[in-house]
Structure 1
């Protein structure tokens, strides 16, 4: 084919409406496919972004909960950090309580005053660290949250049944936590 024939054929195709429609349709179809692909890519990216945001928010919430939990645990540890030492000193306080009536029988007033000062200093130091003695009296209701019944005896009167008759050993609380239950005798 000559160059002139090729040019004529191209002109015929350009002038032919069927060929033009096919080219336009082909171009439109390609453009539509590209738009659909772009939309689907945008939608995929939007979905990924929303998933990433959700994961970020969850991770942030978990971290915030972790910080709050560790802060509460740290406060609790500080409140009861001296628990073992204070618990170890409770028998010394009990010994002072048992010894004081005998020491007061002594004729030496300086000895009585000196021992009382030492006892008071020890008790006040422990109170400063958060130790509180439970106030248990005869006739109080027996409460298993604060008291330990070491024995039951027949109640001297009807109104003392199920009530505390005597306190054998003082109970103590440290920062509102029982570290030693009061040992009591209960009427039955």
Structure 2
């Protein structure tokens, strides 16, 4: 009987070692499928992330270029408009001189010619200003007594203020300032009291 027990033990050992050595195919297949699924889902997640980042980057690019295009259209004529500013200044000077001449002349025939000249120059001046205004040009309102702002005005000189309330304020406007849209293309040149 002892021999029979030994044989059973040997058979049981052989069976256990065979179970351990034989691969379990269903479990192995499931583990391989799970790991393959995990790998695929991980790769899919990475690709989705790349796609979303690329899409967001493209949207930002579209917004940025649209904004740049709008800015370009707003200031496309800046060089031309800037070149016209001295002409506006000349019109102002001409109108002032013609008005002075009209006030000083007493001769009726000469006064009548000066008045007609004044009307003609005023018409041209108004039409020219309206055309530039239609392109987005606006005058920066600056007058005597306004507070001096270094970001808005260009001080060409400082003089002693005639009164204490004019210290740090604009005494005289030498040249008008203009802006095209929201961008200042020429700062008003002013004299400041100190």
Indicate the TM-score class for this superposition, using the shorter chain for normalisation.
0.7 to 0.9
The Cα of 1:35 is off from its aligned counterpart by: 2.0
How far does the alpha carbon of each residue in 1:5-48 deviate from its partner, in whole angstroms, 9 at most, with x for none? xxxxxxxxxxx777666666555523322222221111111110
Measure the CA separation in 2 of the matches of 1:21 and 1:28: 13
Stretches of structure 1 that go unaligned for 5 or more consecutive residues are 1-15
Counterparts of 1:6-155 in structure 2 under 5 Å? 29-104=24-99, 105-106=101-102, 107=111, 108=113, 109-155=115-161
Measure the CA separation in 1 of the matches of 2:16 and 2:140: 100
TM-score of the pair, normalised by structure 2: 0.83
Partner of 2:180: 174
Instruction: Judge which range, 101-110 or 114-123, deviates more.
Output: 101-110
Stretches of structure 2 that go unaligned for 5 or more consecutive residues are 1-10, 103-110
Measure the CA separation in 2 of the matches of 1:122 and 1:83: 16
Measure the CA separation in 2 of the matches of 1:111 and 1:155: 39
Q: Is it true that 1:183 corresponds to 2:189 in the alignment?
A: yes
Partner of 1:9: none
TM-score of the pair, normalised by structure 1: 0.85
